[in-house]
Amino acid sequence: MMQFSVPTVSCHHCQVAIQGEVSKIAGVQSVDVDLESKTVKIEGDHLGVDELLAALDEAGYDAKLIN
């Protein structure tokens, strides 16, 4: 599991945009967008940090890896 800080995530549209873009990556099993903590948790197999950051950027959000 990888967790990212996404400070600008704030609404349902944000959740849908992030889940849609990140889910396109092979190996992604789940994407949990938490609006309260402004974090995104991504679970899956053989996931690359750069690829996930690029997907978050493509969705329109700056993100930083937490763990």
pLDDT digits (tens, 9 = 90+) for 27-67: 999 999 999 999 999 999 999 999 999 999 999 999 999 97
Please give the Cα distance from 11 to 66 (Å, whole number): 21
CATH topology of domain 2-65: Alpha-Beta Plaits (3.30.70)
In this prediction, residue 67 carries a pLDDT of 74
Which residue from 48, 40, 44 is spatially nearest to 66, judged by alpha carbons?
Answer: 40
Which two tokens mark 26? Answer: 């092979």
pTM (predicted TM-score): 0.93
Annotated domain spans of the chain: 2-65
